[in-house]
Structure 1
């Protein structure tokens, strides 16, 4: 992956069709939450399928941890749906038959002359698609374990949420005074509790025109 996508940079806001053939913008899928993005070889790869199965078991923790998951594959629409359904993955799968992501990020797996796929990467993203960490999964052991993702997301959440440690006297004072501006989501005008529950429920339709966090 090119150096401009190093930690601290902004990941490209790609627009691609999802498994329902609806075009989705990454920033809309993210909303005001954290995100883990999986760039995959595709359904044919046993390493990718095994990693997805691990992620399916981990995904409920991402939901309650206010973290979105998105997969991008170079498969066609039909194969993308098979991939998602046969692994029981509940998050959006985007398909990129034109290899837009592969080309822009310069991650062509040139050792595979048959499938023209991307080198698998896992990208941990903070708000506004800010890159926190990138894993190169060309070899299976290069992919993050679920404990590593847990650790990454803990660090990122600690940096993101002002109310990470609500035992701080200053935070308690603000709450008692009715100042909720430092507490998520109570003081966040960009997301209502209703919208947050929809995000946690994985309601696909809520992604259209989703307001981004502006704080």
Structure 2
């Protein structure tokens, strides 16, 4: 049984979400920062498959997922469900993004988000986080009530703001950017100066084994 860790603080914009290592739905340990790479990320802390509100919200996220892909944004769910239950939910939803298994409730303990009104399932209060690169929290949504969860319009807005803040080439109409490109300064343009197009396409395809790999303990 894992021991309680030092409380890292509240889930607040501007703080850094911990770089957790959990097994994914295939049983392979993944490090959250490896799954994120250098992109924005949506992290969903879910009650689990038993919750109808979670299932409804995930249906919206699955429909939204193709927009996340072309918008260079990864998405990960963290659940306290066991391997079998998590896989059933993922397959029934038709989700193509990783589900990380936190059966020992590490996130719940770290952030003090046990849903104490549920005396049967020992779940965490559901949250949805939008992260900038480096696991920096851009925005937080508390989903104890369904309407506290972000709509896809909310996520679109948050990801627009986050991407504008981290990508210096957001507005290609700027003269200095065109001049920089003509001079061959590709490091000012993402991803051209940071990774190959092949690597970018691997990430867009969700090929986690190829770009994130296995995490150590």
Unaligned runs of 5+ in 1: 211-215
Unaligned runs of 5+ in 2: 1-6
* Conservation of the 8 A alpha-carbon contact between 1:8 and 1:130: yes
* Conservation of the 8 A alpha-carbon contact between 1:2 and 1:106: no
Distance 1:179 1:52 in 2: 41
C-alpha deviation, 1:204, in angstroms = 2.2
C-alpha deviation, 1:3, in angstroms = 5.0
SS at match of 2:161: helix
Alpha-carbon RMSD: 1.4
C-alpha deviation, 1:2, in angstroms = 7.5
Distance 2:162 2:179 in 1: 25
* Match 1:52 to one of 52, 58, 64: 58
* Match 2:119 to one of 113, 120, 123: 113
Distance 1:155 1:146 in 2: 14
SS at match of 1:131: strand
Matches within 5 A, 1:41-190: 41-188=47-194
Normalization by structure 2: what TM-score?
A: 0.93
| 1:205 counterpart = 2:205 | no
SS at match of 1:59: helix
Normalization by structure 1: what TM-score?
A: 0.94
SS at match of 1:43: coil
* Conservation of the 8 A alpha-carbon contact between 1:122 and 1:144: yes
* Conservation of the 8 A alpha-carbon contact between 2:130 and 2:139: yes
* Conservation of the 8 A alpha-carbon contact between 2:8 and 2:110: no
SS at match of 2:77: strand
Distance 2:119 2:17 in 1: 27
Distance 2:91 2:106 in 1: 24
